[in-house]
Structure 1
Amino acid sequence: MNQEILEEAVLRPATRSALTELTNVPGVPGLATPRRAALRADKTVRIAIVHDWLVTYAGAEKVLEQIVACFPDADLFSLVDFLDDRSFLRGKPVTTSFIQKLPLARSKYRSYLPLMPLAIEQLDVSAYDVVISSSHAVAKGILTGPDQVHISYVHSPIRYAWDLQHQYLQQSKLTNGPKSALARLILHYIRNWDIRTSNSVDGFVANSEFIARRIRKVYQRDAQVIFPPVDVEAFSLCTEKEDFYLTASRMVPYKKIDLIVEAFARMRERKLVVIGDGPDMEKIRAKAGPNVEIMGYQPFKVLQDRMSRAKAFVFAAEEDFGISVVEAQACGTPVIAYGKGGALETVRDLSESRPTGMFFDEQDTESIIAAVERFDAHIKRFSPMDCRANAEQFSAAHFRERFFAHVRAAVPALRGAQLPRYVPYKADAAASAPRILAVDQSGVLGGAELSLLEIVKALRSRIEVVLFDDGPFRTALDQAGVTVDVLDAGALRHVKKQGGSLPKGAALKGLLSLVRATAKRARKADVIYANTQRAMVIGALAGKLARRPVVWHLRDIVSPEHFGGKQLAIIKWCARFGLTHVIANSAASARAFAELTQFDGKRIDVVFNGISAEPFDALRAVPQATLRERLNLPRDAFLVGSFSRLARWKGQHVLLEAMVLNPQMHTVLVGAPLFGEEQYESELHAFVVAHDLGDRVHFLGFQHDIPACMCAVDAVVHTSITPEPFGRVIVEGMLAQRPVVAARAGGVLEIIDDHENGVLCTPGDAHGLADTLAELRSNDDLRNRLVRNGYQTALSRFGTTTYVDGVARILKRVVGR
């Protein structure tokens, strides 16, 4: 299409008194036989766009986004609309069906499949001249009249009702019994309805030749193929590839990520990076070997970076199209894909002159392994420039041109219309972003407070903080330019995790005072964001009083090892009474909370803490000797650093016991007792005296400059004797480019791959810890490998951008409910 056609224009009616007869237009298969439709010359063509359901932004929604860009004045219809971010709809409102108001529709909308045919037929589009349906389920069943033109862009006929019925029944465990019989009866009804409603579609558009064949098989109709849009401009060509493979996808069964991970676990000499999250995460993580890095959900910039640098993109799903396959090629990255479905139309294999990838024939590990080995043998045949050129034919601009031309050809009244110039939509971020009241019980700068500080810095324009105690944390918040209120916790400040008795009158008075004060401030916010356990209790009560949703950022493993019985009972009650959503800092924390409270798993998200690399990178040019002199540490000793508050469960005594067995080493203890744990500190000092360790154990107390302390030591040790919820110190040690040794339990297992980016030891085992530290001291290759891989892990998986984006996205979603 010429550039002039892309100039901005509005849709204009044809200069005739009525819509001319529709005829079979050449190049537009499937159009109905001639008929007439009344449309006055002074009226614009009215267009309705119908989509199945709006709950996320995935492949079908990317098509919808471009259809809306083609027809910006069209009105939108959908069964349900539970979108958190609706910018891709250009801020348009959506007319929904009665399913929108049914119980649990947000999370269980698919369960209403038997009602969907009825629901789509109740959406009234009779006032429109043209109806465009974007359908992978029931949208094409919208009722239209004889004077309306209905064009349906079909992502697929209803998969689970047609050729994938048996696979669907097996995955849903509906192969036998009364429920199976009922499911089969419903799917039979859906099939009959699907065929009947296909007759009211004037023209079908398929997203691939594969789907066009499905349409022909199911509906006995031809379809025009218009490939879905891929934002190839968002991906830059990269000609320098690194020695790792990539796969990225939502972790659900049909994506077959588990097969890819299993295959690479058997190819230890090849590295695989996995990006994505979903229900199968734990299953996939369990199959990963040390050569497989599972990064979880990552923001677009990280995906873009890894996709650009990867040696090849591995894809094992049978997709109708497969947008990620094209995105990889847009980066100049060749593809190793399952040879079925849409990939056959988007990847040129070795049989062609300018290949962009290759295929394997079976969805199993053996086929994937053979394909990867074959790829390596022919790697010189793949050119990044060829991959990019192939991807460009699937651009969003190309889609808009073809789809608009198709609709214009089908509707005579649009023959004079021109494709509107594409202008990226920018939503008013300030207007749509929720206002947040963050609540924390402590004035001390502990790990939870440092993690909250990163959130506050990033969202300072729309966040206020309430503390129940004054101290260094309040000072840090003031320096960040955040509004802070310190409330008097009264007798409640003496409550500990492990329980204990309190004067009931004093406790009740303090509780009610904090709840009222917090609720008063919450009325000015959209969501309460509780950062600690006591803050969660106050927040849950205040949220009910102020009628605001409450999100708890869970940074503890809620188990008897960490909490007293009364505290666990209170957490369980609050979860049922006043919590809307929970953000856990690790899967270990999430599992313990779910087991204790039976909280709905769909209302629990895992977001790893984010730690900034800047303060560590700023010390790269500072000699270690200078840092040691500043901290009054021995210049030439092998120093092992422990960085934590002094508490028995943190296990500093285990490290001291290991020092007795390792006379060549020194220990640096950074931290102080924070919550009535002074007795433990005294015990540590007594142990040092009793074992004559005074000149080898260095108590530095509380330190503000943790990066400098970490860069001053030779190794970082994390010795918790009970499961750690996350292990912030571990990531900080990696950023300091120091080898890390940590206890094998809790969230630590989600950070460290043993002997790859850190070393794991049995909790409480002083002899094992001593042996590991001795090996670390004598093995330069091991130390270098741990430092190199650890630093990369910290940057890629625990960056502040990923962390802040994850929390902000969840808070916005909760407010959107």
Structure 2
Amino acid sequence: MNQDVLEKDLLRPPTRSALDELTSVPGVQPAPRRHAQRASKNVRIAIVHDWLVTYAGAEKVLEQIIACFPDADLFSLVDFLDDRSFLRGKPVTTSFIQKLPLARSKYRSYLPLMPLAIEQLDVSAYDVVISSSHAVAKGILTGPDQVHISYVHSPIRYAWDLQHQYLQQSKLTNGPKSALARLILHYMRNWDIRTSNSVDGFVANSAFIARRIRKVYQRDAQVIFPPVDVDAFTLCTNKEDFYLTASRMVPYKKIDLIVEAFAQMPERRLVVIGDGPEMAKVRAKAGPNVEIMGYQPFEVLKDRMSRAKAFVFAAEEDFGISVVEAQACGTPVIAYGKGGALETVRDLSEPKPTGMFFDEQDTDSIIAAVNRFDEVAHRLLPENCRGNAERFSAAHFRERFFSLVRASVPALRTATLPAYTPYRPGAPSAANVPRILAVDQSGVLGGAELSLLEIVKALRSRIEVVLFDDGPFNTALAKAGVEVTVLDAGALKNVRKQGGSLPKGQALKGLISLVRATARRARKVDVIYANTQRAMVIGAVAGKLARRPVVWHLRDIVSAEHFGGKQLAIIKWCARLGLTHVIANSAASAQAFAKLTQFDSGRIDVVFNGIAAEPFDALRAVPQAVLRERLNLPRDAFLVGSFSRLARWKGQHVLLEAMVLNPQMHAVLVGAALFGEDQYESELRSFVAAHELGGRVHFLGFQHDIAACMCAVDAVVHTSITPEPFGRVIVEGMLAQRPVVASRAGGVLEIIDDYQNGVLCTPGDAHALADTLAELRSNGDLREKLVKNGYRTAQERFGTRSYVDGVAQILTGVAAR
């Protein structure tokens, strides 16, 4: 079985193909037992491919399957790719063959081990398994509650109808090696039939292969032609006087027959592009009218294919990608009338023909077909060839394949096909980041939690979340389809960052319990991602126990203004003990942390929070009066909105003092006292009563729809009296297209350019705030300028895509180290 043909040709992946409409062949049907799956379930998908060693036909299909399901995980027997761009940077789980001697160059020699190897790949944690198979991938082991859909490029050719042909070509028709080869192929056939029973639905790359599937497995298959990159080719109507054939020179491609036929037609010119083991044989048959160019880069192939008067194809191919590519150039086809060509070429009997067929694989048939071509060439219009090829586009393939999988999996019934975006190397996606354990202390939806939610939505297939408290945040995470575990924090809930006693007794017991529970989960992931300060403490210790790196997303300015002395000491201790890397939400946060801990600056990165614009853009057509009526706010007043939890350092009292000085304005306070700050809320309400502001100050409490609240007001204020780590509210106000006034300190200075995209005021200065708000109310031009520039700033500097990419890239780098 070590013959070159068996190693390089018999296990040859099929050539890439194109896409067509689903045929009427009965196929994938959802199993009744799975109808009970919840539509809201986060569906985990695994994609299994035979082997990854090159970028050929089967890999073109794999590329588009990944585009349909970008969050899926990828499995393969071996992975020896150099250019991984078509995998969008995905990591690949491989089998034990990957580590066997000479596997990179001789992986085909391990054919007898491949059934065992594919069965050792563990996909039991997935709801849906998609196999891309021309050899053994369809034999992956799946359970009764998993849906397995197999896209079959071909049943194992050399084990079935082409066995005798391959044995002859490999000179294995007699002797001990022949007996061994036949025994192995017999074993492969038995295994191939047995494993076909575990496939829920077959998809074939052509009706030709669907008939093979029916013959071999006694199963029906739907047909979805593989994708062709027709956009890479352009229509050319000016044809020159030469014919073209292009292929790898292996026996079944029959290039030698085409060359021999043209050698007998010296008046006709043939150009041959390609290389392979049959090259010497081909050259020996070539006459002076045959130009053999050997291997050529794509641009040369495209040029010759565009200018040729016809493309000649003599193989019995499963599909035949080059046939479609030629038509994409407007070049008609002269093809052997068997296999996939019958499905991709419209012959002369059809209204808009794109080619013609010959009946036998011999020189006489080829000569007769070429002679007849001259008589009918006027009917084979380039425009019709191009139109036929466009049926097989990659976009068409994605639509058909995604629809088929969605129809087969009840939990995907409401899913939509992801928008196709070209792969950008270096920009991690949901599929190429490591496995993450995100840890957060809170169940409420504060700024830190909203920022984490954006990460979770983008990376949900690779992320698990642990919370130390239940609440609205858990509900939002569940809605996003992520796995969430809520651990009981016990007495630790009462520990605040502003200070207080360290946990003792029951609290210490709760601390140990949280660390152990977090460490258990951390052993299943690659990196711990701590989103809050208390989560960082637990994560740092758990990371030591689980031997996993810990990344803290720092969303605070760690200074005495925000933290108690004991809490600052704990942060310093954790930085030395267990933090691998720190992501800061602003330069101000990063500088304060570095100053406190003397942490290596090379392990601190600044990534600005990303805020989605969609909730705000969705309200553009909604009249402000409608929003005010919904929130029970006065219709005609000038409303100034404050959006934050009610806490003294957030400075809502400064806004109320400014309202005393500004009788023409109303204040809208959106937020609640979340962390034991009820006394502060009482003080605010007492101030309102004492100054008779009840008709002009509106306490809305906690609100889910922040976008609607912001769009209901006329201006957004940010009144923190101590430096703010970032200032999410400021960016949200910009996205709501409202002028923003903010305190001149901390991370705010990294967002606002004074009087360009917002206005800065001295923290705690109610008189300055009142004057600024009065100016805004009276100056429409200023408001318009701030709104226009602010929206641009929010879109360009604080978008969710750059935020998610930045965090994902850091987590990937940390896990790799």
TM-score norm. by structure 1 comes to 0.49
